[in-house]
Chains A and B, each alone.
Chain A
Amino acid sequence: LAKTTQPISMDSYEGQEVNITCSHNNIATNDYITWYQQFPSQGPRFIIQGYKTKVTNEVASLFIPADRKSSTLSLPRVSLSDTAVYYCLVGDYGNDMRFGAGTRLTVKP
């Protein structure tokens, strides 16, 4: 069961790019890396998932180095509405998928 480590909080300003790094030294060969976003009083929402190298979708990019012991979620040009908690998960739901404490991102005007 790979454990993840993320910064507790980050601050940014509107229009900036935000990079949140997650460490997962014990990642297994079959594990995927998945990021979720959570707003207050709502359930988490899927952002992006990857296995290696780089994955990009309409809202974010995910960078995974060759050793896969860390990953970086990149949010381009953040806005106030990106203020949320971001969770990095490693593993699969058939093997007890657990959330850590997450990173609380605050975007300021």
Chain B
Amino acid sequence: NAGVTQTPKFQVLKTGQSMTLQCAQDMNHEYMSWYRQDPGMGLRLIHYSVGAGITDQGEVPNGYNVSRSTTEDFPLRLLSAAPSQTSVYFCATARTGYSEAFFGQGTRLTVV
């Protein structure tokens, strides 16, 4: 039982490149979210999903796309990386809207 798995753990991109951050969970949770955390700051919600086939925008969605084709996976796509997207990205899952959320270990992304 791995919980929430994020890959890769570290990534360096050049400005303008695209990439996908992976998030997989084996807890059969319906709710999944992506957050970014800049140095010394709190977490900001990028996108979230309340179930397969359903996604919605959070507070900072620009420059990111998501899809939820299965319950287990919730990939985050950076369309054209910018230095402002340098951050640590966390994926979270929850069984219901009101239950405890479980977070992955994060992906540290640097855009140069």
Q: Which A residues fall within an 8 A CB radius of B?
A: 32, 34, 36, 41-46, 49, 85, 87, 92-102
Residues of A with C-beta under 8 A to B98: 32, 49, 92-93
**B: contact size bracket:** 20 to 34
Which residues between 5 and 49 of chain B lie within 8 Å of chain A, taking CB atoms? Answer: 31, 33, 35, 41-45, 48
B48 near A97: Cβ-Cβ < 8 Å: yes
Known: A43-B106, A93-B94. A98 touches B58 (CB 8 A): yes
Q: CB of B50 within 8 A of chain A?
A: yes
A-B pairs with beta carbons under 8 Å apart, 15 shown? A34-B100, A36-B101, A44-B43, A45-B103, A49-B98, A92-B96, A92-B98, A93-B50, A94-B50, A94-B97, A96-B59, A97-B101, A98-B45, A99-B43, A100-B42
B87: interface (CB < 8 Å): no
Cα distance, A12 to B12, chains bound together (Å): 38
A99–B97 touching, CB < 8 Å: no
- Which B residues contact A (CB, under 8 angstroms)? 31, 33, 35, 41-45, 48, 50, 56, 58-59, 90, 92, 94, 96-98, 100-106
Task: Chain A residues near B104: list those with CB within 8 A.
Answer: 43
Q: Which residue of A lies closest to B6 (CB)?
A: A43
Does the CB pair A43–B92 fall under 8 Å?
yes
Q: Which residue of B lies closest to A30 (CB)?
A: B98
Chain A residues within 8 Å of B31, by CB: 93-94
Closest approach, in angstroms, between the C-beta of A38 and any C-beta of chain B? 8
Given A93-B94, A98-B45, 4 more contacts at CB 8 Å?
A44-B103, A93-B50, A98-B44, A101-B41
User: What 3 A-B pairs come out closest when comparing CB atoms?
Assistant: A43-B103, A92-B97, A94-B97
B33 touches A97 (CB 8 A): yes
Contacting residue for A42 out of B56, B94, B106, CB 8 A: B106
| Residue from B33, B42, B94, B102 in contact with A102 in the complex, judged by beta carbons closer than 8 Å | B42
Chain B nearest CB from A51 CB (Å) reads: 9
